[in-house]
């Protein structure tokens, strides 16, 4: 292949990081992300798109298989990865990173776990691949914005997860470079999946990137070659999707083999809402607590939300966000999640039942809102995720709350106990208390597991 220094840096790094290179804090964070991913996936087990995918997957068997999470069934590894990754993403409750480009890096965990399962690898192998893929994915987000050019962040997932898969599947550097090319060049995902009324595909986009990555790795391992210079080529990824606006140095620095630590810069979600709205839910909860009871539409004259431009562009500006009709749109509506938090004191999964999405009181509160981009708040993004909410009541009372770093942000992290409690809430009624404790204990000991299938057997619903 023609030299591609960006691709070469990514692949060389991924194939050469060792478990011994990981800090204990990073190992613990990987454990937390695996537990969080299993929880949000199982909670989505009966979601309509997940049932569709799982039903199809059960009909696709292969000599290269992986488990469909929550079941004893196996499927071809491509279909298993698609289905499991769809489960992780569907509720919009898994982790996040925000920079020039946003990312949900734990979208990669199902593919990496499937590869480790298929090859019978250890917990150490899995932990190393996850930490490495996070490092690559986060650095890509720092290097350039796909969103500004109309492309979807899942394109970065495809690159980062291919690198981790290449490591787990035992590819040589040349094979891995071909896999990276096959996963990248034919599969440019458009951001259209995240505008307007959102569909099932919003949650499936990263699942598809992971499926493409698995397919590419399987081909490349057998000697199939991909296009030259997929990232830096004349018509390659950086020129076509980023118009050349990419900080090469952030990726080339991987050549010095830094210890993978960027997982520590990513965020766990306490609420099932798009990440830019997490601090708005926190602020609304503060106001609701101070008010002492549900904030009813008849009591309110005006609700003002001051936010930052990225939030406005992603979860405010579309007309559909002001009148959501689907779960996918509601969890991407700053106004809807704020109204729910003001009315009920929090946002939980049951609020996304169809009858609750169209709750007349919630919709009435939305009609009393105005949303502004505050230049001072905008300057703080993405190091902070600032939202300020002001509720002016008809009796003249006014309450304001501002939150810059929502719970789960690295500057306001969730404790291990909070992460475990989130898992318990998500799996309540799905797993027995004994299963829940078994899964938590297995994941706490993840790096010492000889057989990853122990975890998968413990989550059978």
The pLDDT of residue 1 is 58
Residues 439, 388: Cα–Cα separation, whole Å:
38
Look up residue 93 and give its two tokens: 């409750």
Residues 325, 251: Cα–Cα separation, whole Å:
41
Residues 52, 47: Cα–Cα separation, whole Å:
9
End-to-end CA distance of the chain: 46
CB 9 within 8 A of CB 251: yes
The pLDDT of residue 196 is 82
Q: Which domains does the chain have, with CATH numbers?
A: 5-265 (1.10.4100.10), 275-403 (3.30.1330.120)
The pLDDT of residue 197 is 83
For the chain, how big is the Rg over CA atoms in Å? 22
CB 419 within 8 A of CB 35: yes
What are the beta bridge partners of residue 151?
A: 190
Per-residue pLDDT of the chain in tens (461 residues, 90 and over written 9): 567 999 999 999 999 999 999 999 999 999 999 999 999 999 999 999 999 999 999 999 999 999 999 999 999 999 999 999 999 999 999 999 999 999 999 999 999 999 999 999 999 999 999 999 999 999 999 999 999 999 999 999 999 999 999 999 999 999 999 999 999 999 999 999 988 888 999 999 999 999 999 999 999 999 999 999 999 999 999 999 999 999 999 999 999 999 999 999 999 999 999 999 999 999 999 999 999 999 999 999 999 999 999 999 999 999 999 999 999 899 999 999 999 999 999 999 999 999 999 999 999 999 999 999 999 999 999 999 999 999 999 999 999 999 999 999 999 999 999 999 999 999 999 999 999 999 999 999 999 999 999 999 999 99
CB 299 within 8 A of CB 360: no
Looking at residue 428, the DSSP 8-state letter turns out to be: B
The pLDDT of residue 338 is 98
Look up residue 305 and give its two tokens: 């939300």
Residues 101, 78: Cα–Cα separation, whole Å:
26
Task: For residue 358, count other CB atoms closer than 10 A to its CB.
Answer: 13
Look up residue 210 and give its two tokens: 């992971």
Burial 230-252 (b: 16+ CB within 10 A, else e): bbbbeebbbeebbeeebeeebbe
């Amino acid at each position: 292949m023609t030299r591609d220094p960006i691709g070469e840096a990514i692949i060389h790094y991924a194939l050469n990081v060792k478990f011994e290179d990981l800090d204990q804090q990073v190992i613990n964070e990987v454990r937390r992300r695996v537990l969080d991913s299993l929880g949000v996936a199982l909670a989505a087990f009966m979601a309509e798109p997940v049932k569709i995918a799982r039903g199809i997957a059960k009909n696709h068997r292969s000599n290269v298989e992986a488990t469909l999470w929550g079941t004893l069934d196996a499927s071809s590894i491509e279909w298993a990865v698609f289905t499991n990754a769809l489960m992780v993403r569907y509720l919009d409750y898994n982790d996040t990173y925000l920079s020039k480009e946003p990312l949900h890096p734990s979208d990669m965990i199902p593919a990496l776990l499937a590869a480790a399962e298929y090859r019978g690898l250890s917990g150490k192998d899995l932990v190393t691949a996850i930490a490495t893929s996070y490092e690559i994915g986060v650095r890509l987000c720092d290097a350039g914005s796909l969103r500004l050019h109309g492309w979807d962040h899942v394109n970065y997932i495809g690159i980062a997860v291919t690198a981790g898969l290449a490591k787990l599947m035992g590819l040589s550097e040349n094979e891995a470079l071909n896999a990276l090319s096959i996963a990248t060049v034919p599969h440019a995902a458009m951001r259209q999946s995240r505008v307007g009324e959102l569909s099932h595909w919003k949650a499936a986009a990263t699942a598809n990137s992971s499926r493409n990555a698995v397919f590419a790795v399987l081909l490349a391992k057998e000697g199939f070659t991909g296009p030259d210079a997929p990232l830096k080529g004349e018509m390659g990824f950086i020129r076509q999707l980023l118009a050349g606006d990419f900080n090469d140095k952030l990726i080339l620095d991987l050549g010095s083999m830094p210890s993978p630590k960027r997982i520590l810069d990513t965020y766990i979600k306490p609420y099932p809402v798009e990440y830019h709205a997490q601090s708005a839910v926190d602020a609304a909860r503060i106001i609701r607590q101070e008010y002492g009871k549900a904030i009813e539409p008849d009591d309110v004259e005006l609700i003002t939300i001051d936010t930052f431009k990225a939030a406005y562009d992603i979860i405010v500006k579309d007309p559909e966000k002001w009148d959501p009709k689907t779960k996918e749109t509601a969890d991407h509506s700053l106004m809807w999640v704020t109204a729910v938090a003001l009315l009920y004191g929090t946002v939980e999964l049951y609020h996304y039942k169809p009858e609750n999405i169209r709750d007349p009181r919630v919709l009435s509160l939305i009609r009393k809102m105005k949303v502004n981009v505050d230049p001072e708040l905008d300057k703080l993004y993405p190091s902070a995720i600032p939202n300020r909410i002001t509720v002016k009541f008809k009796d003249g009372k006014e309450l304001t709350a501002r939150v810059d770093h929502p719970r789960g942000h690295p500057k306001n992290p969730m404790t291990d106990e909070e992460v475990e409690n989130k898992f318990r809430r998500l799996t309540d009624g799905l797993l027995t208390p004994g299963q829940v404790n078994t899964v938590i204990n297995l994941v706490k000991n993840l790096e010492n597991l000889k057989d990853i299938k122990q975890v998968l057997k413990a989550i059978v619903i």
